Chains A and B, each alone.
Chain A
Amino acid sequence: MTNNLLEIKGLTKAFGGLVAVKDFFLQIAPGTLTGLIGPNGAGKTTVFNLITGMIMPTSGAVVFQGRDIVGLKPFQVYRLGISRTFQNIRLFGELSVLDNVRVAYHYRSDAGLFDALVRSPRFRDREREITERARELLSLLGLELRERELAKNLPYGEQRRLEIARALMAEPKLLLLDEPAAGMNPAEVGRLMELILSLKERFKLTILLIEHQMKVVMGICQQVAVMDFGELIAEGTPAEIQNNSRVIEAYLGRPGGAGVA
């Protein structure tokens, strides 16, 4: 019995003849920050989709807190304590910023349909608790002045932060961030790194993040896993990865090969 929070064992996903993820292994210890990197099309996002139940693996297991979660639906995986953000931000555009966050806590409320219809005291209490928690998160992410705006009207960087706030709403144990720094300038990336570290500290999170910006990966990750063509090709500390010949090959090509960068 290990005490890893997440263990991915022999995960394989084939889309017809294309094997997007092939016999993939990964262990994540509680409280760590792991980076998942690799060239475009390596299968990183597919791994996220497999963990969160959005697609079914062809074979293999995803063990979260000692339990195989393969076959669970996304909302069930979320309720167990795994939440994620998306590479192409997926907010609820026509909902307000506040509601985007509040909706993510919905399942915890024991106030049901009838409570809502008659606005029972229990409904009011739960609604107030949810709203307080949502506001707390929004202010942590610097969005407290935006709460009544529609999510679709926020600038890009704030949309990314809102997605993180939403993902934190249900107190996840494992947070999956899919390219959180995409499209950000160097100053914003710096602030994002600090933010991720402080949120991790504050909420005792374990984080797995996909990232292309090496500054982020090398700067905050304790462990890095590298994928290429659906396979895990290297694993280790950022320093080890930087000097790994298979990684360099995956990114830059084989020395003396047809060298087109």
Chain B
Amino acid sequence: MKKVREIGPGWWALVIIVFFLLLLQGLIIAGLVNPYIQTILCYAGVVVISALGLNLIYGYTGQFSLGHAAFYGIGAYTSALITRLLPGWGFFALPLGLVAGALVAGVIAFLIGLPILRLKSDYLGIATLGFGMIMNVLFKNSDKVFKVMGGAAGMRGIARLTTFLWVAVIAVLAVVMLRNLVFSAVGRALVSIREDELAAEAVGIDSTRYKTLGFVIGCMLAGIAGGLYAHLYTYLNPDNFDFLKSIDVLLIVVIGGLGSISGTVIAGVGWALLLEGLRIVLPSAVQEWRMVVYPLVLIVIMLVRSGGIMGRNEFDFLKPADYRRR
């Protein structure tokens, strides 16, 4: 047993990625990245954070959820309300809003998860879909409780607090934490439930507890992503949190690979860049073709790599030594 830990590939990768992100931040400060591209980059990070949450729920723990956008919405509205209520907090407004968004999303996930996580696959999907619809109706009628939430007309006047640096820091933290989680005893317990819930119980895993844990953490990530989204676009419309948006996240997770952090990051960034990037690349006359190109890409990916871009695999640098192939 050697006591001194050598610096593994994971640390090197982290250093390189942080360096790269700082370089981008430098370019932004120097004014070399136009605001539109900055927004796209931020959006890519937001998508990745939210999709990582769903991957934990569906990809790792095997719990099919069609309500992810609802938790994203809960985080978005909560944090927007918080920053509204705390106008003078400057730098701390956004982190407070994000923490509040994550907590509210987590608490609601816990309360809704306890009864519905007993359900299996499709049935759970339908139950979460129902929950998403309820939340959508609540968002649409939110103005009856809090006038500022705007109801069906949408919530306006949210401060633009989300910056590239915030998104980058939180996205990197989310990746590191999730990686630490899935490559641990907790992660093994979650995956064992996905693989065979009865056998997991038979080897001492309290499956109810772990399913709830995975669901709550995944929904908290959605809540954080929602908070970043709210302070990026400064306007929230209930339609941005309906079940079609849940399907979007689901697609990203499936395309990236169920149970792969690397895959979710690639697919999430690719998704944002493709969807928004095509807007720039394509001449305005054929803008409509975006919605043709994009489903075609989906079909091709599924035909070529049916398990998603990464399957269940990870980049080697994400794996701890005892998971790496020799």
Contacts and interface: CB of A to CB of B under 8 A. Distances in A.
Interface of chain A: mostly helix, strand, loop or mixed: helix
B288 interface: no
Contacts of A109: 185
Given A94-B195, A98-B322, A103-B192, A127 B185 contact: yes
Given A109-B185, A148-B325, A103 B180 contact: no
21 contacts: A52-B202, A73-B206, A74-B198, A75-B201, A75-B206, A79-B204, A86-B199, A90-B198, A90-B202, A92-B192, A99-B191, A103-B203, A103-B205, A107-B204, A107-B206, A116-B180, A117-B177, A119-B180, A126-B185, A167-B203, A169-B203
B207 interface: yes
A78 B180 CA distance: 27
Interface in B70-84: none
Q: Which 6 A-B pairs have the closest CB atoms?
A: A116-B184, A92-B195, A104-B203, A74-B201, A90-B199, A107-B204
B195 A83 contact: no
Contacts of B198: 54, 74, 90
Interface in A151-193: 166-167, 169-170
Interface string B170-187: 000000010011001111
Contact of B205 (A107, A148, A167): A107
Interface of A: 52, 54, 73-75, 78-79, 83-84, 86, 90-96, 98-99, 102-107, 109, 111, 113, 116-119, 123, 126-128, 130-131, 148, 166-167, 169-170
Contacts of A167: 203
B189 interface: yes
Nearest to B322: A131
B12 to A, nearest CB: 16
B204 A170 contact: yes
A113 to B, nearest CB: 6
B319 to A, nearest CB: 11
A189 B282 CA distance: 68
A103 B177 contact: no
Instruction: Give the interface residue-count category, chain B.
Output: 20 to 34
Contact of A75 (B181, B184, B187, B207): B207
A102 B203 contact: no
B184 to A, nearest CB: 4
B186 A116 contact: yes
A19 B188 CA distance: 38
A103 B202 contact: no
Contacts of B192: 92, 95, 103
Contacts of B187: 116
A106 B181 contact: no
Contacts of A98: 322
A117 B185 contact: no
Contacts of B201: 54, 73-75, 78
B213 interface: yes
A115 to B, nearest CB: 8
Nearest to A166: B203
B30 to A, nearest CB: 35
Interface in B251-280: 259
Given A117-B180, A148-B326, A75 B185 contact: no
A167 to B, nearest CB: 8
Contacts of A83: 202-203
Contacts of B1: 128
Given A74-B198, A75-B205, A106-B189, 14 more contacts: A54-B198, A54-B202, A74-B202, A78-B204, A86-B199, A92-B199, A94-B312, A103-B185, A109-B185, A113-B213, A116-B187, A127-B322, A130-B185, A148-B326
A116 B203 contact: no
A76 to B, nearest CB: 8
A95 B191 contact: yes
Contacts of B185: 102-103, 106, 109, 111, 116, 126-127, 130
Interface in B276-326: 312, 322-323, 325-326
